[in-house]
Amino acid sequence: MSGCCSPNYRKSVNEKEAQVNDKGKEQLPLLAKIIIVLISAGGLLAAFLV
C-alpha cells in the first residue's frame, strides 16, 4: 500500500520537504558570499586603478 493513506507516505513527504528546506538554506548564504566577494574584488580593483 503506497497511496496517500499509507503510514509511510507522510514520512516520505516530510523527508522530502526537509531536503528541500535544507537546500534552500545552503544556497542563499552561498549566493550572498559570491556577491560579497565580487563587490570586494571590484572595490580592490578600483582602488588599484585610481
- Give the DSSP H/E element, type plus range, for residue 46: helix 7-49
Average pLDDT over residues 7-29: 75
Q: State mean pLDDT over 27-42.
A: 86
Cell of 42: 571590484
Share of the chain above pLDDT 70, in %: 78
Residue 37 has pLDDT above 80, yes or no: yes
Residue 24 has a pLDDT of: 61
